[in-house]
Amino acid sequence: MSTKAVLITGANGEIGHGLVTRLTEKDPSLRIVAIDVHPLSQTLRERCHEVIVGDIMDSSLLDRLAAFYDFGTIYHLAAILSTKAEREPVLGHRVNVDGTLGLLELAARQARATGENVKFLFPSSIAAYGLPDVPTKMKAGKVKETEWLDARTMYGINKKYCEDLGRYYNWYYRQIDPQPTAAHVDFRALRFPGLISAVTLPTGGTSDYGPEMMHYAAQGKEYRCFVPESATLPFMVMPDAINALLTLEATPAKNLTQVVYNIGAFSVSAKDFYDVILKAFPGATVEFRPDALRQKIVDSWPADVDDSLARREWGWRPEYDFRRSFEEYLIPAVKQRYAK
């Protein structure tokens, strides 16, 4: 008999840290199988049933997992983020698209074998959007899920395509088979804004300037910001991102009319970050020295998202606005982290 478990890919990443911790706080008996190309920290390892240091592209590894486990839910977090994928587009495509396809197939196989739906939680991104220029972006304001979908980065294109793949596995998989399977992949995607964690530092992303500015200031390090003061994106703190994943996972399928949902918390400029960080760390040194090429990517992402669908269908509501994020979560936690 297979062992019931939850699969988390990319478990050593920023979201993985938050998710493994929160899931096991909620249910210490939950069996988590974690995969990452990098070893997990000791504290995360202790919370997992099995930890695999391996590549999601390794099909024999996925076969072995399918043989031993019965995954009711898969959180597929492993990815190459936007800046890194722009530097290595073929690698980005392989991991972000082929890697996701392999996991969707694993989920479909499991659904066939067990006769039960497998929930597949996929973190998509505001990178799925592509706006042509800053005036259009600022005029567009809160974009809906179906608007401005001309992604301009390899990462954004990968995310958008994986949303479509997920929709296919959810609604149309093997649609001309005369004998439809009893169960399917229950794919659910969130288009996350830029995420900010107090306990981990981002790597390889383009929204990294926000969290980097804060972590550098807390360590007394000078920060060179690669976007101008006016650059504006939607952001969210990690506790809200984890809430969103867990709430969407727990929502009955009958309540959901879509497979992709925007979620928002607050929209801020790089100057807004600077002001709040300078207040908390008066000695902070931040030099705005825009990198025109990376700035173009930020300029093509929306200033804000319309998350009314998520609010209506599964009760999404962020707990942290901009002020509360910094005053009650980020600043106290990073001060404590770097005081050690």
Alpha helices, H only, 168-315: 209-218, 238-250, 270-280, 292-300, 308-314
CB of 208 to ligand SER, least distance (A): 6
Chain centroid to CA 281 = 28
CA pair distance 192, 236, nearest whole angstrom: 8
The tally of CA atoms less than 13 A away on the side-chain side of residue 123 is 27
CA pair distance 2, 67, nearest whole angstrom: 7
| Joined tokens for residue 45 | 């390892």
CB of 97 to ligand SER, least distance (A): 15
Which CB atom, from 48 or from 233, has the smaller least distance to ligand SER? Answer: 233
| Joined tokens for residue 176 | 């001309």
CB of 10 to ligand SER, least distance (A): 13
Which CB atom, from 194 or from 290, has the smaller least distance to ligand SER? Answer: 194
Tokens 């804004």 belong to residue: 193
Which CB atom, from 55 or from 116, has the smaller least distance to ligand NAD? Answer: 55
Which CB atom, from 102 or from 123, has the smaller least distance to ligand SER? Answer: 123
Residue 5: closest CA among 95, 77, 67: 67
CB of 64 to ligand NAD, least distance (A): 15
Residue 206 interacts with, from ligand SER, ligand NAD, none (CB under 5-8 Å by kind):
ligand SER
Which CB atom, from 192 or from 329, has the smaller least distance to ligand NAD? Answer: 192
Q: From the CB of residue 138, how many other CB atoms can be counted at a distance below 10 Å?
A: 15
Q: What phi, psi does 237 have (nearest 5°)?
A: -85, 155
Residue 219: closest CA among 128, 141, 137, 280: 280
Which CB atom, from 21 or from 114, has the smaller least distance to ligand NAD? Answer: 21
CA pair distance 193, 241, nearest whole angstrom: 9
Residue 138: closest CA among 262, 290, 289, 298: 298
Residue 198 interacts with, from ligand NAD, ligand SER, none (CB under 5-8 Å by kind):
none
Residue nearest to ligand NAD (CB): 13
Binding-site ranges for ligand NAD (CB under 6 A): 9-10, 12-16, 35-38, 55-57, 77-81, 95, 99, 123, 125, 192, 194-195, 202-205, 207
Binding-site ranges for ligand SER (CB under 6 A): 81-82, 125, 127, 155, 194, 205-207
Residue nearest to ligand SER (CB): 205
CB of 202 to ligand NAD, least distance (A): 6
CB of 8 to ligand NAD, least distance (A): 10
Which CB atom, from 81 or from 270, has the smaller least distance to ligand SER? Answer: 81
CB of 100 to ligand NAD, least distance (A): 9
Tokens 């607050």 belong to residue: 266
From residue 197, alpha-carbon distances to 13, 24, 102, 237, 287 in Å are 11, 19, 29, 6, 22
The tally of CA atoms less than 13 A away on the side-chain side of residue 206 is 32
CB of 163 to ligand NAD, least distance (A): 12
Residue 78 interacts with, from ligand NAD, ligand SER, none (CB under 5-8 Å by kind):
ligand NAD
Which CB atom, from 18 or from 32, has the smaller least distance to ligand SER? Answer: 18
